[in-house]
Chain A
Amino acid sequence: MDARSLVSQILDIELEMFKSVPARYPVSCQDDEEGFRIMRAAQFAVWSEDTLRSYLQDLEAARQADRNLMTLKYARMEDLVAPLQNNVEITELIEEIVLIQLQWQREMEARYPALMARGRPMTDDGNGTGETSFERYLRAELETYSPVTLTNLFRDIVARQVKGENMTEEIYEHMVKALGYSSLVEADENARRQTTQ
């Protein structure tokens, strides 16, 4: 199965789970199927086939066990359930991934401030908005991945680091292009214009 088919299957299962997240954990944009697909597809566009394959297996195994990974993610974001990973090696791995992604996110904020201002606040520390931070969201999502998927994702991430690339930038690039912009610069300029109007 190639990357495109893997992403397509992942999106189908994720969407099914996303739509059935119970109202107790209200999820914004639950009805915006297209928006959901664009955001998630941009993320998966930069994953290796190994990572996509193992994540698809995670989703299929969860569905079979009647576990909704989206519900668990949102429940973890709000600290409503206990941590989903207990193995020290795996929790350390999650922290490493969070650290790298935060760094990339900061680089993006410096480069495309208007565009990034539209996203979540970076961390919980004093953001004062009451909105779930990027860091909290990311950590919760990573906890829903299996150790194999986390390991594969970590390899994808470190491979980018070694080449001096920013995976977050690639994700945003996919996203803004799917939204009709030609580049991140154009999307950032558009965001700036809208802010100053």
Chain B
Amino acid sequence: MKNILVIGGSYFLGRVFVEEMAQDPDNCVYVVNRGNRPLNMPTVRELRCDRNDVAGMRAILPHKTWDAVVDFCAYAPQDVDDLMRVMTRDTIKHYLLISTASVYAPTKIRPVRENAPIVTAPQPALGPAASYGYLKALTEQTARRHCTQRSVPYTCLRPTIIYGRYNYAPRESYFFDLVRRGEPVVIPEHDLPLFQFVLVDDAARATARCVLNSAAYGKTFNVSADELISYGRLVEVIEAVSGKTISRRPMDVATIDRLRIPLPFPLDDHLIYSGRLLQETLDFSFTPFHAGMQSAYDWYRQSMSTTP
């Protein structure tokens, strides 16, 4: 029996990962989070605690040899520091940190590979998200340091734009809502920039494949499908998966900004990453975008029909 401890795991990627791991009867899955969204999975042990409540965490976490600790919600170095303080008496055989492609510094050298420079300061141009990538980068460094000190194999995953079931962020659902209401979709007049996605099921599967996999020890992976998507391509695919004709309203980027149209993906720069290291190391392949978006749309329709 393998003991898997998941930190977070109740919302989006973490939830799908827990579902994936719970399918294997050889896994004993523990999930610790604040309990806002209970999973209610019969084979998963749910523990309620804020990860930064060191005393509380010490009280609720059973002392075990953890075959893997998979951390979905470490957003600042303190988060990892606190977790490692709690787990001083435990053995961790593998620590996996779910980071983000936002740790990379802006660059014109594309595709961005795992060894590209990372941000060294907050990025005020990103507004409310100014510190997100920077803090995640510091969190990676902190996690790596703790793992090195404890001789624990460390793996870091940096997903790009994740989409699919349980997505609480208004990304693909922003477009699905417009389509449902029969409203036109604003897209940039030139079909740029280009960006990439990863289906949540693929990101969960990739994470699961890293667990206790020596090929993944000490590695950092971009989690990014190869397909290059633009707003135009996205709308084309949504049109195909929904079977509905979408009215497009091309607009220049300055006007989109001025009108504060909340397009959820980048407008001013390409976000293009190489996911080859992961594909080659783990012999992994990504779901084609069309098929992934079909599953996301089907899930959206189902959730709309069950929402009161």
**A-to-B contact residues, CB < 8 Å:** 89-90, 93, 96, 99, 147-148, 151, 154-155, 158-159, 161-164
Top 6 nearest A-B pairs (CB, nearest first) are A162-B111, A151-B191, A162-B226, A147-B190, A155-B228, A151-B190
Q: Which residues of the partner chain A approach B111 to less than 8 Å between Cβ atoms?
A: 158, 161-162
Are A154 and B272 neighbours in the complex by a CB distance under 8 Å? no
List residues of B (97-150) whose CB comes within 8 Å of A's CBs.
108, 110-111
Q: Which residues of the partner chain A approach B228 to less than 8 Å between Cβ atoms?
A: 155, 158-159, 162
Residue of A nearest to B232 (CB): A151
Are A158 and B194 neighbours in the complex by a CB distance under 8 Å? yes
Q: Which residues of the partner chain A approach B272 to less than 8 Å between Cβ atoms?
A: 158, 161-162
Are A161 and B110 neighbours in the complex by a CB distance under 8 Å? yes
Question: Nearest-CB distance from A162 to chain B (Å)?
Answer: 5
21 contacts across the A-B interface (CB closer than 8 A): A89-B190, A89-B192, A89-B253, A93-B190, A96-B108, A99-B108, A147-B190, A151-B190, A151-B230, A155-B228, A158-B110, A158-B228, A158-B270, A159-B226, A161-B110, A161-B111, A161-B272, A162-B226, A162-B228, A162-B274, A163-B226
Cα distance, A135 to B232, chains bound together (Å): 30
Q: Which residues of the partner chain B approach A162 to less than 8 Å between Cβ atoms?
A: 111, 226, 228, 272, 274
Question: Nearest-CB distance from A138 to chain B (Å)?
Answer: 17
Q: Which residues of the partner chain A approach B194 to less than 8 Å between Cβ atoms?
A: 154-155, 158
Question: Nearest-CB distance from B187 to chain A (Å)?
Answer: 12
Cα distance, A182 to B290, chains bound together (Å): 38
Cα distance, A146 to B197, chains bound together (Å): 28
Main secondary structure of the interface of A (DSSP, over half): helix
Partner of B192, one of A154, A159, A161, A164: A154
B51 interface residue (CB < 8 Å to A)? no
B276 interface residue (CB < 8 Å to A)? yes
Question: Nearest-CB distance from B248 to chain A (Å)?
Answer: 14
Q: Which residues of the partner chain B approach A147 to less than 8 Å between Cβ atoms?
A: 190
Question: Nearest-CB distance from A8 to chain B (Å)?
Answer: 26
Cα distance, A60 to B194, chains bound together (Å): 28
Q: Which residues of the partner chain B approach A164 to less than 8 Å between Cβ atoms?
A: 274, 276
Q: A158-B272, A164-B276 are in contact. Are A93 and B192 (CB under 8 A)?
A: yes
B28-68: CB near A (< 8 Å → 1, else 0) gives: 00000000000000000000000000000000000000000
Cα distance, A161 to B275, chains bound together (Å): 12
Q: Which residues of the partner chain B approach A159 to less than 8 Å between Cβ atoms?
A: 226, 228
Question: Nearest-CB distance from B116 to chain A (Å)?
Answer: 13
Q: Which residues of the partner chain B approach A90 to less than 8 Å between Cβ atoms?
A: 190
Cα distance, A164 to B277, chains bound together (Å): 11
Not counting A148-B191, A158-B228, a sample of 14 additional A-B residue pairs whose C-beta atoms are within 8 angstroms of each other reads: A89-B190, A89-B192, A89-B253, A90-B190, A99-B108, A151-B230, A154-B192, A154-B194, A155-B230, A158-B272, A159-B226, A162-B111, A162-B226, A162-B228
Cα distance, A96 to B192, chains bound together (Å): 13
Question: Nearest-CB distance from A54 to chain B (Å)?
Answer: 11
Question: Nearest-CB distance from A150 to chain B (Å)?
Answer: 8
Residue of A nearest to B253 (CB): A89
Cα distance, A12 to B152, chains bound together (Å): 65
Cα distance, A96 to B194, chains bound together (Å): 13
Cα distance, A107 to B276, chains bound together (Å): 20
Identify which of B192, B230, B270 gathers the most chain A CB atoms within 10 Å of its CB.
Answer: B192
Q: Which residues of the partner chain A approach B270 to less than 8 Å between Cβ atoms?
A: 158
Residue of B nearest to A163 (CB): B226
List residues of B (232-290) whose CB comes within 8 Å of A's CBs.
253, 270, 272, 274, 276
Question: Nearest-CB distance from B38 to chain A (Å)?
Answer: 40
Cα distance, A155 to B194, chains bound together (Å): 8
Q: Which residues of the partner chain A approach B253 to less than 8 Å between Cβ atoms?
A: 89
Q: Which residues of the partner chain B approach A151 to less than 8 Å between Cβ atoms?
A: 190-192, 230
